Structure 1
């Protein structure tokens, strides 16, 4: 069976950045360590006044297409995943296609276009849709373009404000992919939850404590479901474990839970038992409460073991590097985590072809998905071509007062006149509103 997966990838970060420990924390009268060490974010990426989910998505897609020498006829499907959409009818994919048609010969008139919504999970769901479309033989030899694009902004003063971010990830899904091939096996954990939602409002309503609990519960269910079809997992089966990363601190919680699960009934658990004992088994306790208390105690000891810390440093820490420099990208988050891990492999000269990743995606509301990916021979060249460092280093550093201005500029309920902080060049930009209140765009040389 021909492999299907991610053939190329590109990102586009917002052009502005807010230094959380050095700029945000002092303005809030808070300890800088709360951000750099606690939630694990140094910088939040934010969009300039001429940037939005369309410009970031279109600019990422154009860079990908140019690098691969693609034209519109090569693309049979454009799916956009976002939870920052501004139209309840017209999908963002049509806006992005319109931008791209303004710079390429040809058009996307025979490409299927859509928009996916399930909070942060929809980026992976869009990849799944493209995978299934190709597997079904409906692609006619063409590839799919999947774009995850978001402005993850929160109301001023909201606890989530420190996790903000803005950016897009564009992925080419095709047969015989260069980067990773997707597994047929998937696992799901899904339940009707109210942990994070946007009922006809721009900024989310969040129950932070509940959101962490739901994230961990759905991830555990998805892993168990994945193992029901793919067999038991083991820490040595996968070189990296990219998770949905709203902020690196939450990944630390998910990683510990996952490690306990995948080491259960293995030689790893037996080796750890010499220092911290075997994992508690529910049947050995008189009540569920006693069992859960024992589990918490075991995990507190587990995270202090050298074996766990070495695994975390190898398999998890490389996945959160970019996130710590850009903040939360919602639908693009897990795909940034994958790219971060692959970049770390290049920096550390790790041979990855044939190795596997275990990818954990999540969306509030709530659903998690677990699947495996096999790294392909062409991964190094494709990943090395993505100009991550140039984009991150080229961002404009905001003062706190400038941050307040740009936040107001992107607040749909405010009318403010703010000059751009950067100069657009060779990119798509937002130019204003049309006669039917649609957003308008043009390419700036």
Structure 2
């Protein structure tokens, strides 16, 4: 029996800072906001971190399909901003949502694709019938040094997907991964902010890995872009996913429903998964979704997904992605630095 998505949930903090506000402070980069196609980005509240975001997204996933948490046999939490260097995020999530303690749990880390790696791990356990349900999470409160290009996009948010074999909202038809040792982005233990090799970020980083994984999956599935109704790509900014979609032969109409980065920024491990959730919010039974994540360092996971009838039964039982675009609170740069803990004694 194929594995797939039984339920999903998201959480995005209500706070935002406009890209033009960041540009106002760092005037020498005032054109950055327009070039990245990011209007604003989400900002965590003072008491929010990757764990609280993961908990809220997971609760929404459990609520959406009325899941008994005791059925969840694995929790894998992907993030590059786990609040503890030694203390798992997954165990806190499990306790918060009320899982049975007969559970395997671990934290994943692979830059922005740790969440899709967690999905793959859950697929393996579920497909081999070692567990009933698995919970895969991608959540981050991502970092960007003051004045760095990353500061315009590094955001906060997360998504949680419950993977199982029965009552599927969407079947995962197949996946394909492409991985190399490409040092485009890194943060050593104890460093407050990541560094990036600018010339590695685009072609040898994002574009090589996403196109390689995407083409590998299309060949494996014997499909073409025209066979899919929607396409979701990792969203470090607003221009990269549009460019890679065009390069692969996907249209703007296919990518538009899942393109959320202009309004919330790059949520790192949550980025492609929130885009997938936004697409599931509108997709109809029988439609197909193409998904490709990207994680610096570097790798990409591509998935072929077919929406099932159960999506109509669960879709409206928990907040949708675009519900988090409403009732937002905009911060100025001073309050933003307080929320992000950028002022250090």
Fold shared per TM-score above 0.5: yes
**TM score, norm. by length of structure 1:** 0.72
Aligned to 1:166: 156
1:223 matched to 2:221? The reply is: no
**TM score, norm. by length of structure 2:** 0.91
Question: Comparing 390-399 with 41-50, which one deviates more in the overlay?
Answer: 390-399
Q: Distance in 2 between matches of 1:15 and 1:380?
A: 27
Aligned to 1:202: 192
Structure 2 unmatched ranges of 5 or more: none
Contact 2:65 2:314 in 1 (8 A): no
Q: 2:123 aligns with which of 131, 141, 158?
A: 131
Aligned to 1:440: none
Aligned to 1:339: 277
Q: Distance in 2 between matches of 1:197 and 1:42?
A: 26
Structure 2 residue matching 1:171: 3-state secondary structure? strand
Aligned to 1:326: 264
Relative to structure 1, the CA distance from residue 255 to residue 66 in structure 2 (aligned partners, 3 Å threshold; closer, same or farther) is closer
State the Cα distance separating 1:400 from its structure 2 match.
2.0
Q: 1:91 aligns with which of 76, 85, 88?
A: 88
Q: Distance in 2 between matches of 1:372 and 1:125?
A: 15
Relative to structure 1, the CA distance from residue 198 to residue 48 in structure 2 (aligned partners, 3 Å threshold; closer, same or farther) is same
Report the RMSD for the aligned CA atoms in angstroms: 2.1
How do 1:374-389 and structure 2 match up within 5 A? 374-387=306-319, 388-389=321-322
1:392 matched to 2:331? The reply is: no
Contact 2:71 2:100 in 1 (8 A): no
Q: 2:339 aligns with which of 385, 406, 413?
A: 406
Structure 2 residue matching 1:248: 3-state secondary structure? coil
Aligned to 2:6: 7
Contact 1:84 1:151 in 2 (8 A): yes
- Greater CA radius of gyration, 1 or 2? 1
State the Cα distance separating 1:159 from its structure 2 match.
1.1
State the Cα distance separating 1:250 from its structure 2 match.
1.0
Residue-by-residue CA offset, 1:324-374 (whole Å, 9 max, x unaligned): 2111111111111112233355xxxxxx32221111111111111222111
Q: Distance in 2 between matches of 1:329 and 1:189?
A: 21
Contact 1:247 1:323 in 2 (8 A): yes
Relative to structure 1, the CA distance from residue 251 to residue 133 in structure 2 (aligned partners, 3 Å threshold; closer, same or farther) is same
How do 1:253-268 and structure 2 match up within 5 A? 253-259=243-249
Aligned to 2:180: 191
Structure 1 residue matching 2:251: 3-state secondary structure? helix
Number of aligned residue pairs: give it.
342
How do 1:10-25 and structure 2 match up within 5 A? 10-21=9-20, 23-25=21-23
Q: Distance in 2 between matches of 1:336 and 1:375?
A: 16
